[in-house]
Amino acid sequence: MSHCQSPIWSAPAGQATVAVLGMPNTGKSTFFSQLTGSHAHIGNWPGLTVDLLQADLDLEGRPAQLVDLPGIYDLRGHSEDEAVVRRFLESTPIDLVVVILNASQIDRQLRLALQVRQLGLPALLLLNMADEARRFGVVIDAEHLGAELGLPVLLVSAKYRRGLAQARQAMVRQLGGASGPAAPGVAAPPAAIPLLEPLLEAGEPELPGRMAALLAAAVSLPPQWRDRLTRRLDGLLLHPWLGLPLFFLAMALMFQVIYAIGVPLQEALGALLDAFGKGVLTPLLSGLPPFLKGFLLDGLYQGLGTVTAFLPVIFLFFLAMGVVEDSGYLSRAAYLMDAFMERLGLDGRSFVLALMGFGCNVPAILGTRVMRSSGLRLLSMLIIPFSLCSARLNVFLFMAAAFFPARQGGLVIFGLYLMSFAAAIVTALLFKGRFNSSEPLVLELPPYRFPTLRQMLNRAWAEVRHFWFWARRFIVFGVVAVWLLNNLPLGVAPASDASLSGQLGELLQPLLGPIGINPKLTVALVFGFIAKEIVLGGLAVIYGQADPAALGRAVAADVSWTQAVSFMLFTLLYTPCLSTVAVIRSESKRLGFTVFSVVWSFLLAWLVSFGFFQGASLLQQLGVLG
């Protein structure tokens, strides 16, 4: 082939590019974060439409850039992730590929290492999860395997930080030592490979034979499956009839525990922040003009404070989800739910993603990338936004506490979770005909694993930081905007009918009046379209109350409980946030679909709130309901 593609990207001079490549779930991300600490950032690579995680690393004086590629099964595969990896390798000069495989599954995963070998890229093979391999009786002669393959092979356990120092040294050696590139014969100055396919295709015929020979020479597999723990647990947790009830019981328990611990923490933190505002900030700011002081205290501080108070619940939520995911139970959920999801035109993976959406919708929608059929992907993207995410949860916890005694409040929250499932199910049933797919489903069920405390805490902490980062940006913006709407045009009484927000609220009354949303709540909802994190801060500004309890009382004095529930239902069902809309747009690559998804969620939200509010009002008139 004569055409020569110039690299569209290259690292700064002297910096080596090291790509981490491996099959899904082999522990690439674990390895990556153990090696780089928390300095990783999402990088945008030219020529790739997706973002890759990358981090700078100092390899004994040699600066390197580590890039985490998506997990793939086969370099010749047809999935989007596989195409991304191919495009990356074709466009980026790489100094070293670190191939990570699951040691206990070397019997099938070795294939990927052989494919990398065919490309002739400088490489290093890490057999991760050495602990599991040992436990299951898989014995690997790494040295022998390395000699046969012609590249260094190391057994490591990323999760337990075993063998990482050696892996690091091996990386340094492969890069030609600390001095820099091009110790002769070790690492030639890299060039991107313009086309992978011919190389891979040429190597394909001899691959199975080569693999069998290598396995015979360097690996001994156990005659019998040795993971008794997984066998026993699966006997119970995947039981044809007990499996599903046990799963829902586990989920219900998980939420119980989160609230039992989280809500008191949230109240304590709220009280603390309030005391700080009253005791420290108020005297400190007393010299400022009332307008500015009100803005800083009742607007900004209150808005940020209310959301801060919810961080413990969110932390616990992500902690629990992390444990469920890491233990291997989440893949079992896909198995258990697949029969049901199939009838909705979806599959077990859609269920797992919707479940992850209870944390945040955005990564859940990104997760649909594992699906190849566009019908299945779109239908999954249509239902994920109905998952009650943590941002909405904080609105509901607040409203439930303001309008109901503790026991009833818990039921209301539970009811909203049920509603969230119901909306997803109804949506799937209505539209499965338009987005059909016959995508096959094959998923790995990994052995059960014990999550380590450190790993779980780190992860939950990272999620909370991420949430806080978003929330802060949106809240500052939202609070400023709501404040302005309430106080403009100049000279109006704040939030009165004459103010911009009053006018906006009035304007939308014909639409929102029938569902019980008054002009003040309307303003909160309008800003909630940008992000649900704004809703509470917005309410605080609109009702001019600093203390959460006082805000609760002010809202409760202004609207009835039926209006409040209608408001919650609407908040649950309409578009979660602009970020979700943006990611639906970028992932579906279809404007029409994005608009459809937004319109449908509004319509459903309106219909459900209308049904509830009118029904409840009717029952109240008949004297059936209080």
Ligand X SMILES: Nc1nc2c(ncn2[C@@H]2O[C@H](COP(=O)(O)OP(=O)(O)OP(=O)(O)O)[C@@H](O)[C@H]2O)c(=O)[nH]1
Rule CB under 8 A: choose which of 221, 271, 425, 504 binds other proteins: 221
Q: Residue ranges of the alpha helices (H) in 277-347?
A: 282-284, 290-294, 302-309, 311-327, 329-343
Rule CB under 8 A: choose which of 15, 36, 48, 74 binds other proteins: 74
Instruction: Answer yes or no whether residue 24 interacts with ligand X by CB under 6 A.
Output: yes
H or E element in which residue 49 lies:
none
Look at residue 469 and give the partner it binds from ligand X, other proteins, none, a contact being a CB closer than 5 to 8 Å depending on partner kind: none
> How far, in Å, CA of 194 to CA of 236, rounded?
51
Nearest residue relative to ligand X (C-beta): 71
H or E element in which residue 24 lies:
none
Residue 4, classed as helix, strand or coil, is coil
Cβ atoms of 608 and 419 closer than 8 Å? yes
> How far, in Å, CA of 283 to CA of 248, rounded?
51
Interface stretch with ligand X, choices 21-29, 490-498, 525-533, 606-614 (CB under 6 A): 21-29
Residue with smaller CB distance to other proteins, 238 or 296: 238
Residue with smaller CB distance to ligand X, 28 or 117: 28
Instruction: Answer yes or no whether residue 535 interacts with ligand X by CB under 6 A.
Output: no
Q: What is the 8-class DSSP label of residue 276?
A: H
Look at residue 2 and give the partner it binds from ligand X, other proteins, none, a contact being a CB closer than 5 to 8 Å depending on partner kind: none
Look at residue 262 and give the partner it binds from other proteins, ligand X, none, a contact being a CB closer than 5 to 8 Å depending on partner kind: none
Q: What is the 8-class DSSP label of residue 560?
A: -
| Structure tokens, 128 | 């991760």
Instruction: Answer yes or no whether residue 3 interacts with other proteins by CB under 8 A.
Output: no
Tell me the per-residue interface mask from 19 to 38 with other proteins, x by CB under 8 A, - otherwise.
Answer: ----x---------------
Distance linking the first and last C-alpha atoms of the chain: 80
> How far, in Å, CA of 64 to CA of 187, rounded?
14
Cβ atoms of 371 and 381 closer than 8 Å? no
Residue with smaller CB distance to ligand X, 90 or 227: 227
> How far, in Å, CA of 256 to CA of 179, rounded?
57
Look at residue 71 and give the partner it binds from ligand X, other proteins, none, a contact being a CB closer than 5 to 8 Å depending on partner kind: ligand X
Instruction: Answer yes or no whether residue 459 interacts with ligand X by CB under 6 A.
Output: no
Instruction: Answer yes or no whether residue 569 interacts with other proteins by CB under 8 A.
Output: no
Tell which residue, 65, 505, 547, has the closest CA to residue 301: 547
* 290 C-beta neighbours (distance < 10 Å), count: 7
Cβ atoms of 382 and 423 closer than 8 Å? no
Instruction: Answer yes or no whether residue 390 interacts with ligand X by CB under 6 A.
Output: no
Rule CB under 6 A: choose which of 16, 17, 19, 27 binds ligand X: 27
User: Token pair 């039992």 is at which residue?
Assistant: 260
Interface stretch with other proteins, choices 158-166, 238-246, 257-265, 380-388 (CB under 8 A): 238-246
> How far, in Å, CA of 243 to CA of 335, rounded?
10
Instruction: Answer yes or no whether residue 73 interacts with other proteins by CB under 8 A.
Output: yes
Look at residue 128 and give the partner it binds from ligand X, other proteins, none, a contact being a CB closer than 5 to 8 Å depending on partner kind: ligand X
Query: To 10 degrees, the CA torsion angle through 570, 575, 578, 580?
Result: 130
| Structure tokens, 587 | 């992932």
Q: Number of residues in contact with other proteins, rule: CB under 8 A?
A: 42
Rule CB under 8 A: choose which of 33, 92, 104, 380 binds other proteins: 104
Instruction: Answer yes or no whether residue 216 interacts with other proteins by CB under 8 A.
Output: no
Instruction: Answer yes or no whether residue 228 interacts with other proteins by CB under 8 A.
Output: no
H or E element in which residue 40 lies:
none
Interface stretch with other proteins, choices 103-111, 319-327, 471-479, 608-616 (CB under 8 A): 103-111
Rule CB under 8 A: choose which of 107, 143, 201, 497 binds other proteins: 107
* Sign of the dihedral defined by the CA atoms of residues 131, 133, 137, 143, in that order: negative
Instruction: Answer yes or no whether residue 157 interacts with ligand X by CB under 6 A.
Output: yes
Instruction: Answer yes or no whether residue 108 interacts with other proteins by CB under 8 A.
Output: yes
Tell me the per-residue interface mask from 478 to 517 with ligand X, x by CB under 6 A, - otherwise.
Answer: ----------------------------------------
Question: What residues contact 531, with CB distance under 8 A and at least 6 apart?
Answer: 391, 470, 471, 474, 478, 577, 578, 579
Instruction: Answer yes or no whether residue 79 interacts with ligand X by CB under 6 A.
Output: no
| Structure tokens, 425 | 């199910």
Interface stretch with other proteins, choices 10-18, 258-266, 339-347, 475-483 (CB under 8 A): 339-347
Q: Site residues for other proteins, window 123-142 (CB under 8 A)?
A: 136, 138
Q: Site residues for ligand X, window 112-141 (CB under 6 A)?
A: 128-129, 131-132
**Minimal distance, residue 71 CB to other proteins, in Å:** 11
**Minimal distance, residue 228 CB to other proteins, in Å:** 14
Tell which residue, 518, 599, 522, has the closest CA to residue 562: 518
Residue with smaller CB distance to ligand X, 455 or 560: 455
Query: To 10 degrees, the CA torsion angle through 525, 527, 530, 533?
Result: -80
| Structure tokens, 209 | 């034979």
Q: Site residues for ligand X, window 437-456 (CB under 6 A)?
A: 449
Residue 200, classed as helix, strand or coil, is helix
Q: Give me the amino acid identity at 531.
A: A
Tell me the per-residue interface mask from 239 to 268 with other proteins, x by CB under 8 A, - otherwise.
Answer: -xx-x-------------------------
> How far, in Å, CA of 483 to CA of 443, rounded?
50
> How far, in Å, CA of 351 to CA of 331, rounded?
10
- Summarize as ranges the residues that interact with other proteins (CB under 8 A): 23, 73-74, 76-78, 104-108, 111, 136, 138, 221, 224-225, 230, 234, 238, 240-241, 243, 331, 334-336, 338-340, 342, 347-348, 372, 440-447
- Summarize as ranges the residues that interact with ligand X (CB under 6 A): 22, 24-30, 71, 128-129, 131-132, 157-160, 326, 449
